[in-house]
Amino acid sequence: MERENQRVVLVTGASSGIGLACATHLAGRGFRVYGTSRRGTGGAPPGTMTGLGSVTMLTADVTEDHSVEQVVGSVLSREGRLDIVVNNAGMAIAGPIENTSIEEAKRQLEVNFFGAFRVCRAVLPAMRRQGSGYIVNIGSIGGVIAIPYQAMYSASKFALEGLSETLRLEVRPFGIRVVIIEPGDHKTGLTQNRQLTEMSGTDVYQESFQAALAQTARDEQGGPGPEQIARLLYRIVNKRNPRLRYTIGPGAQRAAVWLKRLLPNSVLEHGMRTYYGLGG
Ligand SMILES: NC(=O)c1ccc[n+]([C@@H]2O[C@H](COP(=O)([O-])OP(=O)(O)OC[C@H]3O[C@@H](n4cnc5c(N)ncnc54)[C@H](OP(=O)(O)O)[C@@H]3O)[C@@H](O)[C@H]2O)c1
């Protein structure tokens, strides 16, 4: 098998949706793929292995330092190297900002932002020593255009944009490439796994919150499958100098990213209020 296809990959959140599609797609092309899930081995200790087709699954929770260190250590001790890391593990919390507790906000950022940050810190020493590596963060179009009633989700993805942009500058001298993929709505488990803030149903925002939430769910469940993101990932890790950002998803959502750059904010805001049924 060609050297190209023997590269070692770690995909966080590989039990479902985008992570599962990315892990199996790369494994199908001969990469040596490790995936993580919190429940992959039924509560067994971190670093325990099970098989998911040709993907080796390891238990890890990206919100825990020790768990992340253990899983990265496990891959490195087996393979002696780590070429590609996909920071994909994530979840969504929805609710009006006014009724979001500090704990709920922290929980959201703990997974989507600090989780990716933790993994970056854990893999960078090995990638620096190798003098090569790809870190691919799964952001969101919601990290470019904020989604109503998903402020903490958007904040976590905006933060990931900043981390990716800076990390790219810092590690390029060591041969490490950093990329952020910004998916629009795709059909995955994210919709079903979305958590609502505890006070979300009991307040004056109820009507527009429900309208916005229903629109988001329709867009996700009516969206494309995650396989196209996996194919994009494959193209990215085969480029010597990939771009910082890749936006992928339904045409209207990709167009909105461009319009945000070109149009006054008032125009986009009007479109968002109308689209999500927010009133005002
Ligand atoms: N679907 C979309 O429309 C969309 C759009 C833009 C961006 N994204 C992003 O894509 C990524 C993947 O989401 P998805 O849509 O594929 O959703 P999904 O089907 O719900 O998959 C989420 C994955 O993340 C893992 N995960 C969740 N919390 C975790 C934690 N604390 N530690 C470790 N793993 C954890 C889950 O694994 P376990 O539960 O087994 O641990 C699962 O494998 C997320 O970062 C999401 O924000 C999705």
Residue 256 lies in a domain: no
Matching residue, tokens 């995955």: 188
Which residue among 138, 190, 216 has the greatest number of ligand 1 atoms within 8 angstroms of its CB, and so is best to mutate?
190
Catalytic residue among 153, 205, 246, 276: 153
pLDDT reported for residue 184: 98
**Beta strands across the sheet bearing 32-37:** 49-52, 55-59, 32-37, 8-11, 84-87, 133-138, 176-183, 245-248
Residue 221 lies in a domain: yes
Q: Is 219 in the pocket of ligand 1 (CB under 6 A)?
A: no
Ligand 1: distance of its center to the CA of 280 in Å?
A: 33
The whole model's pTM is what?
A: 0.95
For residue 183, give the nearest of 223, 237, 215 by alpha carbon. 223
Ligand 1: distance of its center to the CA of 17 in Å?
A: 7
Which residue among 154, 188, 215 has the greatest number of ligand 1 atoms within 8 angstroms of its CB, and so is best to mutate?
188
- Can 276 be counted among the known catalytic residues? no
Residue 275 lies in a domain: no
Which residue range is the domain that position 209 belongs to? 3-251
CB atoms within 10 A of CB 101: 12
User: How many domains in the chain?
Assistant: 1
Residue 260 lies in a domain: no
Residue range 214-261, pLDDT digits in tens:
999 999 999 999 999 999 999 999 999 999 999 999 999 999 999 999
Nearest CA to ligand 1 atom 17: 190
Distance separating alpha carbons of residues 192 and 194, to the nearest angstrom: 6
Distance separating alpha carbons of residues 145 and 148, to the nearest angstrom: 10
CATH code assigned at 101: 3.40.50.720
What is the length of the chain? 280
Residue range 52-102, pLDDT digits in tens:
558 999 999 999 999 999 999 999 999 999 999 999 999 999 999 999 999
Residue 271 lies in a domain: no
Residue 154 lies in a domain: yes
